[in-house]
Amino acid sequence: MREMGRGFARSHEARLLLVVVVLGGFLALATPSFASLQNLVDLLTSNAFSGMLAAGLLVVLVSGGIDISFTATASVAQYAAMTVANHSHIGWLGVAAIGAGLGSLLGLFNAVLIGTLRLSSIIVTIATLNLFYGLLMFVTRGDEIFALPDWFVNGASWTVYTDAQQAEYAITLPMLGLVFAFALTAILLKRSNIGRQVYALGSNADAAARVGIPVFRLNLLIYGYMGLIAGLASLVQAQNAQSVSPNALVGRELDVLAAVVLGGASLTGGVGSVFGTILGVMLLAFLQNGLLLLGVPSYWSPCFTGAVILVAVSLLAIERRRQQGRVRRVSA
Amino acid sequence: MSLSMTRPARIAALRPGPVMLRLLALLGALLLVFALLLGERLFNATAVRSMAFQLPELGILSLAMMIPLLSGGLDLSIIATANLSALAMAFVFTHLGAGQAGMMALACDVAALASGFAVAAAIGLLNGYVIAYLGVSPILATLGSMTMVKGIAIGLTHGNVISGFPAGIVFLGNGSVLGVPMALIVFVLVALPVAVIIGRTPLGAIIAMCGSNQEAVRFSGIDTRRVVLRIYLLSALLSAVAGLVMMARFNSANAAYGESYLLVTILAAVLGGIDPAGGFGKVGGLVMALVILQLISTAANLLGMSQFLTLALWGAILLAVTGVGRLADWLRLRLP
Amino acid sequence: MANFLELTGISKRFGGVRALSEVDLDLARGEVHCLAGENGSGKSTLIKIVSGVQQPDPGGRIVIDGRAHPHLTPAGSTRLGIQVIYQDLSLFPDLTVAENIAFSRHLGGLHGVDWRAIRADATAVMQRIGIALDPRARVADLAIAQRQLVAICRALAAEARLVIMDEPTASLTRHEVDSLLRLTRALTRRGITIVFVSHRLDEVLEIADRVSVLRDGRKLGTYAAEGMTGRRLGALMTGGDYDYTPSVPDHATAPVVLAVRGLSRPGEFADIGFDLRAGEILGLIGLLGAGRTELALSLFGMRPAASGEIRLHGRAVPIDSNRAAIDHGIAYVPEDRLSLGLVMEQPIGANIVLAILHRLAGRLGLLRTDRRRAAVGEWIARLGIKVADPDNAVRTLSGGNQQRVVLAKWLATGPRVLILDSPTVGVDVSAKDGIYAIVRDLAAAGMAVLLISDEIPEVLYHTHRILVMHAGRITGTFMPGETSEAALREALDA
């Protein structure tokens, strides 16, 4: 763990943590409801979907690639899993298996195209976004699924706390999904050799091939993992929304990208951490929630989000440049 | 083309490149297939005219995306810029222009256009500044400005449309001159100067060189930061033209028009032979790609297929074209 | 059986091109062997065959440790203890020193990361050869010389018995080269064989046991390093003897074109002053880190000096951007040709006119294709650039022709002062000669040339006056006819 502790004070994560804590503290003082358990639980639940996707996207960004297609992947997985669930009793495991399986399959499809077409991952996944989404809308004719099975609608939850007003606080599936995605990604990136290979690939792709990393197979794993997470996240989203709409998710891919990048992941690869990503997601979630609680009309919320992204990426770039200058002086 | 050109050189200049040949072959194949499937239904004046009405929106937006792509960058804020500048124009039209006549109406029209382009210029300069002077990667800078600009548009309009424009504007979107849709004329009027800038001016040459190696260009005595600033300014101004055309066609402006076009413009540009890594690409290739995409869209529509299948086909076409290219490379290596 | 590796009759054809023919080579245990040859002589192909990346044509024999290996694979070669350290070092800048050294622990099927074992492995390897780097440091935060140590440790961690180093000294200071050579000796004492592939042979000859020379895919021979000189080696590599003698034309009456007085930039160089006359080739020699490139960048306006004066033709001019420098007739050929001098992917013609595009515009600001073609044609002809088609990418040219394209770009601007920063790095010996000839002709025609270099023979034989730069200051002036390589070496290392 000392690997993580070293130099933490001057890392991007530390500064981001400070920003998130200050913002959270300010909102807790300025609004009565921000720090309430109810609000925090709602925040966790409503951000579970984008948080999970951010965890998956982090792995792709660390490897030096990018994936734009995951919202379409999620839509396909969600629609298929819920359609099957409506026709036969497959239970939670069955739904999860279909979502995760279909998601990984589409992720593998991306990886195969990136490996064989030698086209940059952003172009390939823009194309597959259109492909997956177009086919889904064509096949489903855009029909929403309003009636989900009762067991799915009711969900599963474990009440852990009941307050004075008899309001129950429960651990819900979306929360578990979120924790699962971040924990799995953290173990993968930090604790497994495959994760270190992902960092190595993003750090120097030529060298990765030279030291014997099977790059094509590793890419299968990276994009497959993104798809798997997207498939599972789509179920969390369906549980939150209590319905399935084939066009509800596409268009949110760039918001997720923004959260991961705010968390310090670099588009050039090799850099990024789960902790930073969590903070990036939290920052955007706090901001939107806080503006609402402060009484700022919801219409203005995207404008603030955009401004924060712009300022944050500018500060990151300035800082990175300063660091590079320092290294150049050392080596000169 | 100057007279001093030697004969082989002139032939070389007219010879289409490999990208053009591939696109021509694809267009030919598509025409053949659709001719067999649809025949008269596709090749009649009405269908062709409807294509001509639809192509300009995506076309102008793709031009706005192409210039940053050529320089090795990307502009994700084009749609947001188009909508915000359209809203600015719409605001002036509906608040100052209503009920005016004669010279005053003309003055209002000019003021409306000017305000729209001023808004776009401000966004373009912001993008350019953040990318060139602060060193933010284009994708992140424009992701931020896209969110912010769209946010401003939503904040100001609460997501509502502004509608009701003078006849001149409506004509721009829906009228025709000698059977040619005005929107197509606007597209040509925009595409030609862009083609000239890219293909025939020092700036265009520098943009392409920057796309391959910006540092080397800077070492050659060129202020590359000002070049980058101009690239995003140009992109934003082209977006404003696109916004004007969209506004004219729908007779209304809104914060969220045309959002599905954003990633499709990248698709069109790459299909048209613009290297996504920067440095290479021509307007001619982009126009060919746009015609191909529009042909697929119209034919699919005539065949009664959903517009979403068109989207899927567009994605598949890009992958297929690249795949065929790779297969050809592979065969060339295998076969002596 | 003292030989670690024996190659017999190794040939390799690529299509119709013979990259190697009938090469024999043996490497003894614990020896330091130099592999010398120009670009295209077959050096890299030979390395690729030894490391299993490419297979030799039938008929060749590879014997390692007394056993023949007819089908050497990259993995097999690694298993036998053969490690190649490429010039780019192939490190992972975002990973720690320990991970880079013990990266093999990250390979294989899915398993956990044993951080403790990785650090222990790395520390053990570093201790073996007396290196102390922080195993937890990120490689991106290390200096180049330290990164090279990491690369060497990684080779050792893989139980290397033969380490092939490709251009290991290219980006090291003299001091760092010395410690690398010391380290090399430590390695050979452990029975490890070292192969240096380098074009800066003087340095490696000092500790090499034997030198093998390749030319046009054939081995000319293997020679004892003792008694071998850089010049003789150059003659063997190129097949032509380039015997240069210092020449010092008299410039005393020529007008001063560039005068520099008291130029300083804190942390980089201080109190620089010199005159450069028309027709003169002024050499500026300094080691890496002496401030030579920083000075050049200031003269060219890329990093303006903090204080001091630059006079052109007697008039003080503010040089605050490279545009200003170019407008005042200063041209700069950077050392890093690949990333700063040329746009490699783009056409030759586009590169030649890059700095004069504004002059090629006619009415309406449009580029005049006739003027452009004329300019491209003129400079290709004047510098004798061998070009099949000016529309081909610069990347397709040889190193020497690429350097001519950079020169063409700058000469097209009509400069009066030409600053050349290490103009022959990475250029073959024979192509070097062509570049020297061009520079001589330019000077004869009245150009004032400032030739920056870190190679003593280059300034000794190809300039008219030599300034030595050390730690940011000019510490001495030498006349080529009145000094020697040894004297210059001493002045440099002082």
Higher pLDDT, C284 or A159: C284
Neighbours of C (≥3 Cβ pairs closer than 8 A)?
A, B
The one-letter amino acid code at C307 reads S
Selecting from B135, B159, B326 the residue whose C-beta is nearest the C-beta of A116 gives B326
Q: How many domains does chain B have?
A: 1
Which of B75, B146, B147, B275 to probe by mutation at the A interface, max A CB count within 10 Å?
Answer: B147
pLDDT of residue B259: 86
Percent of chain C residues past pLDDT 70, beyond the cut? 98
Residue C50 tokens read as 């030894």
Q: What is the pLDDT of residues A78-129, one digit of tens each?
A: 999 999 998 888 888 999 999 999 999 999 999 999 999 888 999 999 999 9
Q: Specify whether the CB–CB gap between B209 and C346 falls below 8 A.
A: yes
Asked if pLDDT for residue C302 goes beyond 60, the answer is yes
Q: Does A300 touch chain B (CB under 8 A)?
A: yes
Q: DSSP string spanning B1-14?
A: --TT--HHHHHHHH
The parent domain of residue B76 ranges over 18-326
Highest mean pLDDT among B230-234, C148-152, C248-252: B230-234
A5 contacts in chain C (CB < 8 Å):
none
Asked if pLDDT for residue C7 goes beyond 50, the answer is yes
Q: Does C335 touch chain A (CB under 8 A)?
A: no
Question: Count of CB contacts below 8 A, B vs C?
Answer: 78
- In whole angstroms, what is the distance from residue A235 CA to residue A174 CA? 9
Asked if pLDDT for residue B99 goes beyond 70, the answer is no
pLDDT of residue C398: 82
CA of C422 vs chain B CAs: smallest distance (Å) = 16
Q: Specify whether the CB–CB gap between A67 and A60 falls below 8 A.
A: yes
B135–A309 C-beta distance less than 8 A: no
Q: Does C334 touch chain B (CB under 8 A)?
A: yes
Q: Does A270 touch chain C (CB under 8 A)?
A: yes
pLDDT of residue A2: 43
Selecting from B151, B266, B318 the residue whose C-beta is nearest the C-beta of A303 gives B151
A209 contacts in chain C (CB < 8 Å):
none
User: pLDDT-based confidence at C130, cuts 50/70/90?
Assistant: confident
Q: Does A276 touch chain C (CB under 8 A)?
A: no
Selecting from A138, A316, A318 the residue whose C-beta is nearest the C-beta of B306 gives A138
Count the Cβ atoms, other than its own, within 10 Å of residue A56.
Answer: 30
Q: DSSP string spanning C207-241?
A: T-SEEEEEETTEEEEEEESTT--HHHHHHHHHSS-
pLDDT of residue B190: 96
B147–A116 C-beta distance less than 8 A: no
Domain A15-20+33-293, CATH class in plain words: mainly alpha
pLDDT of residue A75: 96
CA of C72 vs chain B CAs: smallest distance (Å) = 23
CA of A258 vs chain C CAs: smallest distance (Å) = 22
C182-221 per-residue burial string, b: 16 or more CB within 10 A, e: under 16: ebbeebbeeebbbbbbbbbbbbbbebbbbbbbbbebbbbe
B267–A302 C-beta distance less than 8 A: no
User: pLDDT-based confidence at B8, cuts 50/70/90?
Assistant: very low
Domain C256-493, CATH class in plain words: alpha beta
Q: What is the domain-level CATH number for residue B212?
A: 1.10.3470
User: pLDDT-based confidence at B10, cuts 50/70/90?
Assistant: very low
Asked if pLDDT for residue A331 goes beyond 50, the answer is no
C366 contacts in chain B (CB < 8 Å):
196, 200-201
Which of A125, A249, A310, A323 to probe by mutation at the B interface, max B CB count within 10 Å?
Answer: A310
CA B307 to chain centroid, in Å, comes to: 20
Q: What is the pLDDT of residues C322-363, one digit of tens each?
A: 999 999 999 999 988 888 999 999 999 999 999 999 899 888
Which of C107, C144, C147, C176 to probe by mutation at the A interface, max A CB count within 10 Å?
Answer: C107
- In whole angstroms, what is the distance from residue C354 CA to residue B187 CA? 31
Mean pLDDT (chain B, rounded)? 88
Cα nearest neighbour of B324 on chain A: A117
pLDDT of residue B102: 73
CA of C299 vs chain A CAs: smallest distance (Å) = 19
Q: Does C406 touch chain B (CB under 8 A)?
A: no
Question: Helix (H, G, I), strand (E, B), or coil: what is residue C70?
Answer: coil
Dihedral of CA atoms A318, A321, A322, A323 in degrees, nearest 10, equals 130
Selecting from B137, B277, B312 the residue whose C-beta is nearest the C-beta of A267 gives B137
Phi, psi of B219 (to 5 degrees): -70, -15
Asked if pLDDT for residue C397 goes beyond 70, the answer is yes
User: pLDDT-based confidence at B17, cuts 50/70/90?
Assistant: low
Q: What is the pLDDT of residues A199-217, one digit of tens each?
A: 999 999 988 988 888 999 9
Rounded (10°) angle between helices B202-212 and B224-250: 110
Averaged pLDDT for residues B143-151? 94
Phi, psi of C223 (to 5 degrees): -125, 150
A193–C107 C-beta distance less than 8 A: yes
Closest CA to A317 of B76, B133, C93: B133
B145 contacts in chain A (CB < 8 Å):
306, 310
Neighbours of B (≥3 Cβ pairs closer than 8 A)?
A, C
CA of A91 vs chain B CAs: smallest distance (Å) = 32
pLDDT of residue A180: 95
Q: Which of residues 113-172 of A touch B (CB under 8 A)?
A: 113, 116-120, 122-124, 126-138, 141-142
B200 contacts in chain C (CB < 8 Å):
366-367
What residue spans in chain C does CATH classification 3.40.50.300 cover?
3-238, 256-493
Q: Specify whether the CB–CB gap between A92 and A82 falls below 8 A.
A: no
B3-41 per-residue burial string, b: 16 or more CB within 10 A, e: under 16: eeeeeeeeeeeeeeeebbebbeebeeebeeebeeebeee
Domain C3-238, CATH class in plain words: alpha beta
H or E stretch including A223? helix A215-241
User: pLDDT-based confidence at C241, cuts 50/70/90?
Assistant: low
What does each C-alpha distance from C216 to A104, B37, C9 come to in angstroms?
Answer: 52, 61, 15
CA of C184 vs chain A CAs: smallest distance (Å) = 22
User: pLDDT-based confidence at B67, cuts 50/70/90?
Assistant: very high
Cα nearest neighbour of A68 on chain B: B263
Percent of chain B residues past pLDDT 70, beyond the cut? 93
Selecting from C334, C339, C409 the residue whose C-beta is nearest the C-beta of B213 gives C339
Selecting from C78, C86, C112 the residue whose C-beta is nearest the C-beta of A192 gives C112
Asked if pLDDT for residue B1 goes beyond 50, the answer is no
Q: What is the pLDDT of residues A44-68, one digit of tens each?
A: 999 999 999 999 999 999 999 999 9
In a domain, B7, yes or no: no
A196 contacts in chain C (CB < 8 Å):
95, 99, 106, 113
Asked if pLDDT for residue A163 goes beyond 80, the answer is no
C326–B219 C-beta distance less than 8 A: no
Residue B166 tokens read as 């003078």
Averaged pLDDT for residues B76-91? 95
A194–C94 C-beta distance less than 8 A: no
- In whole angstroms, what is the distance from residue A255 CA to residue A54 CA? 9
pLDDT of residue C426: 72
pLDDT of residue C331: 95
Strand partners, C264: C307
- From start to end of C350-472, where are the E strands? 417-421, 448-453, 465-470
CA of C453 vs chain B CAs: smallest distance (Å) = 19
Q: Which of residues 188-247 of A touch C (CB under 8 A)?
A: 190-197, 199-200, 202-204, 206-208, 210-213
pLDDT of residue A1: 40
C92–A203 C-beta distance less than 8 A: yes
Mean pLDDT lowest among A157-166, C223-232, C256-265, C391-400: A157-166
Mean pLDDT lowest among C66-70, C104-108, C458-462: C104-108
pLDDT of residue B335: 65
Residue located via tokens 């893989």: C158
B306–A310 C-beta distance less than 8 A: no
C346–B4 C-beta distance less than 8 A: no
Asked if pLDDT for residue B7 goes beyond 50, the answer is no
pLDDT of residue A3: 44
Mean pLDDT lowest among B92-101, C227-236, C419-428: B92-101
B305–A305 C-beta distance less than 8 A: no
Asked if pLDDT for residue C444 goes beyond 60, the answer is yes
User: pLDDT-based confidence at C482, cuts 50/70/90?
Assistant: confident
Q: What is the pLDDT of residues B268-301, one digit of tens each?
A: 999 999 998 899 999 999 999 999 999 999 888 8
Residue C385 tokens read as 């650039």
CA A166 to chain centroid, in Å, comes to: 34
Q: What is the pLDDT of residues B23-54, one digit of tens each?
A: 898 999 999 998 888 888 877 888 888 888 88
Asked if pLDDT for residue A329 goes beyond 70, the answer is no
pLDDT of residue B2: 36
- In whole angstroms, what is the distance from residue C130 CA to residue C190 CA? 13
pLDDT of residue B9: 39
Q: Specify whether the CB–CB gap between A302 and B154 falls below 8 A.
A: yes
Mean pLDDT (chain C, rounded)? 88
User: pLDDT-based confidence at A330, cuts 50/70/90?
Assistant: very low
Asked if pLDDT for residue C242 goes beyond 90, the answer is no
C369–B221 C-beta distance less than 8 A: no
pLDDT of residue B14: 43
Mean pLDDT lowest among B5-19, B153-167, B279-293, C276-290: B5-19
pLDDT of residue C257: 94
CA of B139 vs chain A CAs: smallest distance (Å) = 9
Averaged pLDDT for residues C248-264? 87
CB-count burial class (<10 Å; 0-12, 13-18, 19+) for B304: exposed
The ipTM, to two decimals, is: 0.86
Cα nearest neighbour of B321 on chain A: A117
Selecting from A6, A193, A212 the residue whose C-beta is nearest the C-beta of C113 gives A193
H or E stretch including B61? helix B45-70
Which of C92, C101, C265, C335 to probe by mutation at the A interface, max A CB count within 10 Å?
Answer: C92
First-to-last C-alpha distance (Å) of chain A: 33
- In whole angstroms, what is the distance from residue C383 CA to residue C377 CA? 10
Averaged pLDDT for residues A303-319? 89
Instruction: Report angle CA A188, A193, A196 to the nearest 5 degrees.
Output: 75
pLDDT of residue C205: 78
pLDDT of residue C265: 94
In a domain, B10, yes or no: no
Q: What is the pLDDT of residues A260-290, one digit of tens each?
A: 999 999 888 999 999 999 999 999 999 999 9
Which residue ranges make up each domain of chain A?
15-20+33-293
Question: Count of CB contacts below 8 A, A vs B?
Answer: 156
Higher pLDDT, B329 or C221: C221
